[in-house]
Amino acid sequence: MTIPNMITIMRLLLVPAVVLAMLQARWDWAFAGFLVAGVSDGVDGFIARRYQLSSRLGAYLDPMADKLLLVSVFVVMGFAGELPLWLVVTMVSRDGLIICAVLLSSVMSHPVEMKPLFVSKVNTAVQIALAALVLGELAFSVHLDPLRPALILLSGVLTVASAAAYLVAWLRHMSGYGEGSTTDT
């Protein structure tokens, strides 16, 4: 168990606290927890790279912790009416699509190596900025109206673009699977 992995596990344990704070409309605590999670993500990555403490476990845990926090925050914000439900459904559907594709290719003994695409990294950055903006607006009772709708639209477009890019990559990967085999029908 490395220090970066312990930090990541702490971030995983922070998710229910952030969600609970949001459900209790303690936006200040939710914002603070979200910021702590963001900073800890940077810290564990820095430590892992700087001190060669990267691990296979960390390679799975880190993105899982990030995604769990972001999806949880988006879902709660959607039900609280702070984000449009179409955006929440689009985001969750994209992630579900990716998970199903990875599972299906593994079950079919043709596992796909998941590497984050550039559009996905930009999408995640915009989603983090949107979540931080909304939590910050709620925590400090400010309204940054021109910025929130722009980030919502940009997040929606990037989420769809990212889903499409992953789907194309997965279809290319799977296109050779099963060729050469014949089945009597």
The answer to whether residue 148 is domain-embedded is yes
- pLDDT tens digit sequence for 25-77: 999 999 999 999 999 999 999 999 999 999 989 988 999 999 999 999 999 99
- pLDDT tens digit sequence for 1-13: 899 999 999 999 9
For the chain, the average pLDDT equals 93
The answer to whether residue 179 is domain-embedded is no
Residue 177 confidence (pLDDT): 64
145/53 Cα distance (integer angstroms): 42
Residue 1 confidence (pLDDT): 86
What number is the average pLDDT over the span 143-170?
Answer: 96
Whole domain around residue 112: which residue ranges?
A: 3-174
How many independent structural domains does the chain possess?
Answer: 1
CA nearest neighbour of 4 among 34, 42, 33: 42
The answer to whether residue 166 is domain-embedded is yes
Do residues 18 and 73 make contact, with C-beta atoms less than 8 angstroms apart?
A: yes
The answer to whether residue 180 is domain-embedded is no
Residue 178 confidence (pLDDT): 53
Residue 185 confidence (pLDDT): 35
Q: In which band, very low, low, confident or very high, does the pLDDT at 183 lie, cut at 50, 70 and 90?
A: very low
The answer to whether residue 159 is domain-embedded is yes
Radius of gyration of the chain (CA): 19
The answer to whether residue 181 is domain-embedded is no
pTM (two decimals): 0.90
Q: From start to end of the chain, where are the E strands?
A: none
The answer to whether residue 182 is domain-embedded is no
DSSP of 69-122: HHHHHHHHHHHTTSS-HHHHHHHHHHHHHHHHHHHHHHHTT--------HHHHH
The answer to whether residue 98 is domain-embedded is yes
- Per-residue tokens: 173: 């990967």
Least confident range of 19-33, 62-76, 91-105, 167-181: 167-181
Which CATH number goes with the domain that contains 53?
A: 1.20.120.1760
Q: What percent of the chain is predicted at pLDDT more than 70?
A: 95
